[in-house]
Amino acid sequence: MNDPNVIEPGGVEASADGPGDPGRRSDTVSPRSAVAEQITEFGRIPVGNVRCEDPFIIAENVNAYYGDIHAIRNVTLEIAKSEVIALIGPSGCGKTTFIRCLNRMNDSVEHARVTGRITLDGQDIYERGLDPVVLRARIGMVFQKPNPFPKSVYDNVAYGPRIHGLAADRAELDDIVHGSLERAGLLKEVKDRLDEPGTELSGGQQQRLCIARTIAVNPEVILMDEPCSALDPIATARIEDLIDELAEDYAIVIVTHSMQQAARVSRRVAYFHLGMLVEVDETDRIFTNPQHKLTEDYITGRIG
Amino acid sequence: MQDTTLLLSLTVLALAGFYAGRGRALALVGGPARGRRLHSLPGYYGMFLAMWCLLPPLTLLLAWSLFEGRVITLMLIEGLPDAQRSMSAGELNLLVNNIQNLAVGDAVSVEIDAVLREASSRYRLLQAESRRLLTVLCLGLATLGAVSAWRRIRPEFRARNRVESTVEFFLLLASSIAVLTTIGIVMSVLFEALRFFQQVSIVDFLFGLNWSPQTAIREDQVGSSGSFGIVPLLTGTLLITVIAMLVAVPVGLMSAIYLAEYSSQKVRAAAKPMLEILAGIPTVVYGFFAALTVAPWVRDAGEAIGLDVASESALAAGLVMGIMIIPLVSSLSDDAIKAVPGDMREGALALGATRSEAMTGVILPAALPGIVGGTLLALSRAIGETMIVVMAAGLAANLTANPFEAVTTVTVQIVTLLVGDQEFDSAKTLAAFALGLVLFVVTMTLNVVGLNFVRRYREQYE
Ligand SMILES: Nc1ncnc2c1ncn2[C@@H]1O[C@H](COP(=O)(O)OP(=O)(O)OP(=O)(O)O)[C@@H](O)[C@H]1O
Ligand SMILES: [Mg+2]
């Protein structure tokens, strides 16, 4: 969602940092460290509490690079089972990059590099022997733009269970597909259209189809990258309700540009700025009493 | 005045017209500062005037150069003495030729007499007259056009729309050239084929099992009636095409998948140009590669395992033809795969699909219309290919499905029908047009089917 209150400070900086800018290597050091100073001006970052009870995902000192671009700087964050955590921050601050580290989607990006340690349920996900394919079946992801496959609604949802062999026969597959569509709140609308292409649904329906597709493989965590940015308020409200329901069973990490959305759906909020995690806290505290000046500036719309 | 001088002066006139038109438009509203009161940008008024200055004389020039020669010749003949005018068409033609040659100072094939000399000087006169008339008319038309355009310029005059509709007309003209040429070719093939079918029944042609187009040149020759059954040619074409597609589609598709999904930037940067080089090799080179390298190799390999292989075989030709169209299949499939939005791939990967599962389950189905389109294009290419078959598969019209035998194809037979001496209206020559018609219908059907397929699925996916 395009919240008019959100000013994008990353814009100016990011463009000066763009790849191909000849003076990058030497030039970027000064503005970047200036920003770092500005961020730490109010003391150490991050402020708030990056730890949580009963952590399920633990990211320790994670750094991510795209070639020379240092997109994530030393981020440490814990995420609990069955909680919704919202990642907010100006455009280009690394929210997408961070959640793509969590399911190793950055593996397929050329020049991308991740350092640090991320564990899922105690297991290091960047460990040598670990198969990212298995990992991604445990950590589902919903993208900013709905991306249903050019297949029927049914086949879209059945795709994941099929490749993972989750259903023994057709009846079981039917159950999984219907159950997932039901949970995604889409079954009623598409009951008679299961054979039609998923790409012919409306945008909001497509996004719920993508959510259904994700929960059909029964993941433990769902990552959502601005899942409502292409949707109208009604479709957004439906997805937010859905997130509330799903939160009972899954850990959900949602990236959003809408403060209202973060306030509505999340239990904790993490504020990123220029690749750094600046503040993490309970949602109420962040929005009523932010500790860091940058966080306060951002949520009051003063950053720029 | 020479043509170039005329063209040059027309250009100068048009340029002057441009500035005059622009100036007039600006003057009408009272200077450049008020240019916004004009309906169109001032330049459009200039172009409008220049157009009127240039197009009518150019059209006249074109028509003039088309008909000038014929009209002058007619007038020349008109003025000849009765003795010459009553000559036969051939002799008269020769005479006119000589007159023209003499006029420009070329060699003349007969003795130069008074009649010839007089006629040639008259010819020169006529030509000079025609040029003068043309120059006057052109410059007159240009002036007329300019003046009438000038008088139509008003601030509210829609010069931009006029200029654009003229441009549109020329675009239409350009595109209709392609269409008209196609129609012309089809028509001529069709009519010649119809003449063929007056001599040979269409049923015999389409369903005959025997192809030996040797017709007698003299009445007393043996084998005076050839047989024109197209079936062996069609099966030969089919056989070679199938072999070629069996080579090209799997190899091309797999190399496209590798290049699009698995290869590193470096490999891709090296392999893509290589494939394009492969596509740029003239088919005659493939032909002798097939005839001198592959065909003997196929024969030896066949003999080694106890098969009887002809030294010119459908297999050799098909293999090489397959290699020839690999780049076509591969590069079109690569484009189709690359055109599938990256977020499809990401969506599949995020569900825990491996790269090959994402490829076979999501990306290839989405790219299928493009791949099928590319394959059909390659198929048309294979059907139309001639050189490789001439050199590697032979000329014998065997009706066989055995890839180790020599076969021949429709295109090869068209070539053999038209080389050598025969009358233009003999059944043998006309048969080439009938074959061409068949070829045209087949490839046309393939293209229509392919385009429809691509269109139907593309609509669904986007
Ligand atoms: N594939 C890539 N290659 C190179 N640089 C990248 C790539 N993806 C992201 N970046 C850079 O990494 C930084 C963080 O980008 P990221 O997409 O994570 O931001 P974001 O917080 O998700 O922004 P937005 O809110 O606009 O989605 C940016 O400076 C961006 O330019
Ligand atoms: Mg993002």
Please report, in tens digits, the pLDDT of each residue of chain A (304 residues total). 444 443 333 333 333 333 444 433 443 444 555 555 655 555 567 888 888 888 999 999 999 999 999 999 999 999 998 899 999 999 999 999 999 999 999 988 888 999 999 999 999 999 988 899 999 999 999 999 999 998 999 999 999 999 999 999 999 999 999 999 998 889 999 999 999 999 889 988 999 999 999 999 999 999 999 998 878 888 889 889 989 988 888 899 999 999 999 999 999 999 999 899 999 999 999 999 998 888 998 988 876 4
Long-range contacts of A173-180 (CB under 8 A, 24+ apart): A176/A216, A177/A216, A180/A212, A180/A213, A180/A215, A180/A216
Which amino acid type is present at position B435? L
| Pair A93, A274: CB distance under 8 Å | yes
Of A137, A149, A197, the CB nearest to B344: A149
Task: Using most ligand atoms within 8 A of CB, pick from A2, A8, A96, A278 the residue to mutate for ligand 1.
Answer: A96
Across the strands, what pairs with A276? A273
| Pair B271, B259: CB distance under 8 Å | yes
In the prediction, which pLDDT does B138 show? 93
Q: Range with the lowest mean pLDDT among A61-70, A217-226, B184-193, B387-396?
A: B387-396
Please give the residue that has the higher pLDDT: either A281 or B460: A281
In the prediction, which pLDDT does A21 show? 40
Look-up of token digits 């090959």 = B356
Residues 6+ apart with CB under 8 A from B321: B240, B241, B243, B244, B247, B248, B286, B290, B382, B385, B388, B389
**Over 60: is that where the pLDDT of B425 sits?**
yes
Of B351, B460, B461, the CB nearest to A159: B351
Residues 6+ apart with CB under 8 A from B159: B25, B39, B40, B44, B45, B47, B48, B153
Q: Is B349 on the interface with A (CB under 8 A)?
A: yes
Ligand nearest to the Cα of A8, by number: 1
Long-range contacts of B315-318 (CB under 8 A, 24+ apart): B315/B243, B315/B403, B315/B404, B316/B290, B316/B291, B316/B392, B316/B393, B317/B240, B317/B243, B317/B290, B317/B388, B317/B389, B317/B392, B317/B393, B318/B239, B318/B240, B318/B241, B318/B242, B318/B243, B318/B244, B318/B246, B318/B247, B318/B403
Ligand nearest to the Cα of A272, by number: 1
Q: Is B366 on the interface with A (CB under 8 A)?
A: yes
Task: Write the pLDDT tens digit of every residue in B274-327.
Answer: 888 888 889 899 988 888 898 888 888 888 888 877 778 888 889 999 999 999
Q: Is B357 on the interface with A (CB under 8 A)?
A: yes
Tokens of B220: 């007393």
Tokens of B430: 């006309």
- Classify the phi-psi angles of A43: left when phi > 0, otherwise alpha if psi is within -120 to 50, otherwise beta: left
| C-alpha distances in Å from residue A255, one per residue of A85, A225, B367 | 9, 5, 31
In the prediction, which pLDDT does B368 show? 87
Contact A199 B461 (CB under 8 A): yes
Q: Is B202 on the interface with A (CB under 8 A)?
A: no
CA distance A289 to A178: 43
Task: Spell out the alpha helix ranges (H) of chain A.
Answer: 10-16, 24-27, 29-40, 95-102, 132-138, 153-164, 170-183, 187-190, 203-215, 233-246, 259-265, 283-288, 293-299
CA distance B412 to B394: 9
Contact B348 A159 (CB under 8 A): yes
Distance of residue B350 Cα from the nearest chain A Cα, in angstroms: 6
CA distance B126 to B79: 11
Dihedral of CA atoms A6, A10, A15, A19 in degrees, nearest 10, equals -130
Contact A143 B343 (CB under 8 A): yes
The residue of chain A nearest to residue B265, with distances taken between CA atoms, is A110
How many alpha carbons lie under 13 Å from residue A152 in its C-beta half-sphere?
Answer: 11
CA distance B210 to B313: 19
Interface of B with A in 314-343 (CB under 8 A): 341, 343
**Over 70: is that where the pLDDT of B72 sits?**
yes
**pTM for the full model?**
0.74
CA distance B167 to A34: 58
CA distance A223 to B149: 68
In the prediction, which pLDDT does B212 show? 81
Terminal-to-terminal C-alpha distance of chain A: 19
CA distance A248 to A250: 6
Of B343, B344, B353, the CB nearest to A163: B353
Please give the residue that has the higher pLDDT: either B256 or A12: B256
In the prediction, which pLDDT does B389 show? 85
Task: Write the pLDDT tens digit of every residue in B219-237.
Answer: 555 555 678 888 888 998 9
Residues 6+ apart with CB under 8 A from A274: A10, A13, A32, A35, A39, A73, A93, A94
Neighbours of B179 (CB within 10 A): 9
Contact A159 B344 (CB under 8 A): no
Task: Spell out the alpha helix ranges (H) of B290-423.
Answer: 295-304, 314-339, 342-350, 355-358, 364-384, 387-392, 410-418
In the prediction, which pLDDT does A14 show? 36
Distance A269 CA to ligand 2 centre (A): 16
Of A134, A148, A149, the CB nearest to B352: A134
Tokens of A248: 């009972």
In angstroms, what is the C-alpha Rg of chain B? Answer: 33
Ligand nearest to the Cα of A10, by number: 1
Residues 6+ apart with CB under 8 A from A61: A74, A75, A76, A115, A116, A117
Atom of ligand 1 nearest to the CA of A90: 25
CA distance A159 to A213: 8
Tokens of B235: 């099966």
Instruction: Give me the mean pLDDT over the B151-164 stretch.
Output: 91
Q: Is B111 exposed, middle or buried (0-12, 13-18, 19+ CB in 10 A)?
A: exposed
Distance B288 CA to ligand 1 centre (A): 55
Smallest Cα–Cα separation from A93: which of A10, A29, A205? Answer: A10
In the prediction, which pLDDT does B277 show? 87
CA distance B442 to A157: 42
Cα A171 off chain centre by: 33
Ligand nearest to the Cα of A71, by number: 1
Contact B350 A151 (CB under 8 A): no
CA distance A38 to A294: 9
The DSSP symbol for B259 reads I
Contact A214 B362 (CB under 8 A): no
Atom of ligand 1 nearest to the CA of A100: 18
Residues of A in contact with B341 (CB under 8 A): 147
User: Which residue of B265, B337, B343, B351 is the best one to mutate when testing the A interface, meaning the one whose CB has the most A CBs within 10 A?
Assistant: B351
Contact B361 A134 (CB under 8 A): no
Atom of ligand 1 nearest to the CA of A89: 21
Q: Which amino acid residue places its CA nearest to atom 14 of ligand 1?
A: A94
Terminal-to-terminal C-alpha distance of chain B: 61
How many beta-carbon pairs below 8 A join chains A and B?
73
Contact B344 A163 (CB under 8 A): no
Q: What SS3 class is residue B10?
A: helix
Distance A276 CA to ligand 1 centre (A): 13
Neighbours of A91 (CB within 10 A): 14
Task: Using most ligand atoms within 8 A of CB, pick from A95, A255, A271 the residue to mutate for ligand 1.
Answer: A95
Look-up of token digits 């063929």 = B196
The yes/no answer to whether this complex scores an ipTM above 0.90 is no
CA distance A137 to A141: 10
Q: β-strand A112-120 against A55-66: which pairing, if any?
A: antiparallel
- Classify the phi-psi angles of B162: left when phi > 0, otherwise alpha if psi is within -120 to 50, otherwise beta: alpha
Tokens of B320: 């090489």
The DSSP symbol for A216 reads T
Please give the residue that has the higher pLDDT: either A200 or B110: A200
Residues of A in contact with B362 (CB under 8 A): 149-151, 159
Q: Which amino acid residue places its CA nearest to atom 24 of ligand 1?
A: A91
CA distance A183 to A205: 13
Q: Which amino acid residue places its CA nearest to atom 11 of ligand 1?
A: A71
CA distance B256 to B339: 13
Residues of B in contact with A105 (CB under 8 A): 346, 349-350
Share of residues in chain B with pLDDT > 90 (%): 37
Ligand nearest to the Cα of A90, by number: 1
Q: Is B250 on the interface with A (CB under 8 A)?
A: no
Residues near ligand 1 (Cβ within 6 A): A 14, 66, 69, 71, 89, 91-97, 109
Q: What SS3 class is residue A28?
A: coil
CA distance B422 to B180: 30
Contact A150 B353 (CB under 8 A): no
Neighbours of B126 (CB within 10 A): 18
Task: Write the pLDDT tens digit of every residue in B35-46.
Answer: 888 888 989 999
Q: Is B267 on the interface with A (CB under 8 A)?
A: no
Of A110, A150, A217, the CB nearest to B351: A217
CA distance A208 to A190: 11
Atom of ligand 1 nearest to the CA of A18: 31
In the prediction, which pLDDT does A267 show? 93
